[in-house]
Amino acid sequence: MSTRNRSTEAAVALLVLGLCVLACSTGVQETTQKQGWTYAEEQDEMGKGVIKRASIMSSNAVSLKYPYGGSQLAKLWLRKHPRLGESVALSVERGQFLEGNLLVRFDDNVALSFGSHEPDSGSTTTVFIEEYPKFMKYLKRSKKMKIQASFYQEAPQIFEFEVEGLVWETAPYLL
C-alpha cells in the first residue's frame, strides 16, 4: 500500500473518530416524535441534570420581505432546564422579531396577550414568551393555537400550530 493511500485512510479514520466523539459529546439521550411534537433529552453540560425539550412546527408558512424573503415556518419550543428553569419560545429561520406583546389564540377562545423578550444571546430569530405557567395551562388543554407576532418592517404575521397530543410534565402550580 502506498504512503498516500495510508495517509488518506488515516485521515478518513480520524474524521470518522472525530464525528463519533462529536456525536457522543452532544449528550442527546433521546429524541422521539409523536403527533407532530418532537421530544429530546440531553444531559446538562454542567452536570446539573437533564434538559428536556418539546417542539412543533407551524402548519402554515409566512413570507417576509427582503432580506428575509421566502416562505418559512415557525417553531414553538418548550424547555425544562435544571439551571435556567422552564421556558417557551417561538423561532423562525430568518427574520427579526420585535419584542413586545404576542397575541395567542387557543382553539376558538378569545386571543390572549403575552409579553415576549429576546434571548440573552441577542438573536432576533427567537422570542421567549413570558408567563410560562399561564401559557402552559392553555396550551395543554388545546388542540390548535395561533400566534400573531410582529417583525421588523413587516405587518404582524400569524403562525398556526396543531398542538393536540402534547406530552409534557405539568408542575403542580399549573393544574
Res 21: pLDDT: 31
**C-alpha grid cell for residue 101?**
406583546
- How far apart CA 38 and CA 40 sit, in angstroms, is 7
What rounded mean pLDDT belongs to the chain? 82
**Residues 133-175: tens digit of each pLDDT:** 999 999 999 999 999 999 998 899 999 999 999 998 754 444 4
Res 134: pLDDT: 96
Q: Which domains does the chain have, with CATH numbers?
A: 30-174 (2.60.40.1880)
- How far apart CA 24 and CA 52 sit, in angstroms, is 18
List beta partners, residue 32. 39
Q: Which whole number is the average pLDDT over 66-83?
A: 91
**Residues 39-61: tens digit of each pLDDT:** 998 888 877 788 999 999 999 99
If one counts every other C-beta atom within 10 angstroms of the C-beta of residue 173, the result is 8
Give the residue, 83 or 79, on which the prediction is more confident: 79
**Residues 88-102: tens digit of each pLDDT:** 999 999 999 998 999
Phi/psi of residue 89, nearest 5 degrees: -145, 160
Cβ neighbours for 145, distance < 8 A, ≥ 6 positions apart: 76, 104, 105, 106, 107, 139, 160, 161, 163
**Residues 109-128: tens digit of each pLDDT:** 999 999 999 999 999 999 99
Give the residue, 108 or 12, on which the prediction is more confident: 108
Given a cut of 80, is residue 3 above it in pLDDT? no
Q: Which whole number is the average pLDDT over 33-44?
A: 84
